[in-house]
Amino acid sequence: MAKLPEKTRQIAQVHAQLINSVVMACHNKALLPQLEPALQAAQNNGWTELVKRIRKILAGSRDSQILIGLDEEDAAIILAILVGL
């Protein structure tokens, strides 16, 4: 993740498991059922907008416009996913 700013990299490291799981599921849709519990847990913990954007990425969206309106942490996670793809 050398392409990302330091603070973004730090946030991405904290959420690396989720980020990696999303990237892997984007490449292999058979992994989606394994990702679903993590997405449900995130949504239950109030990360509704983050999960909404992750689902858009899983559906094929790769546009940087997906970052608009996210807080700093959510944006860092989404950016790390996009960089990973």
Report residue 7's pLDDT band, with 50, 70 and 90 as the boundaries: confident
Q: What pLDDT does 1 receive?
A: 46
Buried b (16+ CB within 10 A) or exposed e, 46-71: ebeebbebbeebbeeeeeeebeeebe
Owner of token pair 């330091």: 6
This prediction's pTM: 0.91
**CB neighbours (10 Å) of residue 82?**
19
Report the C-alpha gap between 80 and 44 in whole angstroms.
22
Q: What is the pLDDT of residues 31-78, one digit of tens each?
A: 999 999 999 999 999 999 999 999 999 999 999 899 999 999 999 999
